[in-house]
Amino acid sequence: MKNIIKSITLGLIAIPLYVQAGGNPDHVKFPQDYEKNFKQYATMNRANQTQVAKLYANETAVNSFAKDSKSTSGSIVVMEIYNTKKNADGKPVVGKDGLFEIDSLAAVGVMENRNNWDASFNKEDRTENWGFAVFNPDGTAKSNDLNCVQCHTPLKAQDYMFTYQKLVEFVKK
């Protein structure tokens, strides 16, 4: 009986960690109409994955990267994550441009940089001023077993962004 109670207790403790592990949608919100109001700065195959990413940055991010190659408070970066078409072997179909052919939108990742986060948004859940969240295509919060902070934290020299160089190159054009 004690083992059952321990198991249930551990499971209940882990549920919020699982749901929020990919970010914190209570603080980082889904930016409505980002595809119209933000600049698309890249489309690329995701490294070590069979997905395609389309990347967008708001005006604050574009202006701050054009000025200093670093984000300022108010910068928002969005990554649309797409499932890809598969061939008979289950491998992604590669288009003439080298990108995997897109099948459907799977998720939307959001990074938001703010220097005035609410005190309830723990520093351990952010990389300095960058907060993260993952959403379903309809903008509702998505459960995600990845830890955004863990993967982005080692990228301090790149402003915590995997696509840092893509954004720098975009704004320099």
pLDDT the model gives residue 149: 85
Identify the structural domains of the chain with CATH numbers, from first to last. Answer: 2-172 (3.50.70.20)
User: What average pLDDT score do residues 122-135 get?
Assistant: 92
H-helix segments, the chain = 2-20, 34-37, 59-68, 148-152, 164-172
Helix 59-68 with 164-172: angle, nearest 10 deg = 80
Q: How many CB atoms lie within 10 A of CB 5?
A: 9
pLDDT the model gives residue 1: 52
pLDDT of 95-124, one tens digit each?
A: 999 999 999 999 999 999 999 998 889 888
Contact 160, 128 (CB under 8 A): yes
Residue 142 CA neighbour count, 13 Å, CB half:
20
pLDDT of 56-103, one tens digit each?
A: 999 999 999 999 899 999 999 999 999 999 999 999 999 999 999 999
User: What average pLDDT score do residues 146-158 get?
Assistant: 87
pLDDT the model gives residue 151: 86
pLDDT of 135-148, one tens digit each?
A: 999 999 998 777 78
Q: Tell me which H or E stretch contains 3.
A: helix 2-20
Q: How many residues does the chain have?
A: 173
Question: For residue 3, what pLDDT band results from cuts at 50, 70 and 90?
Answer: very low
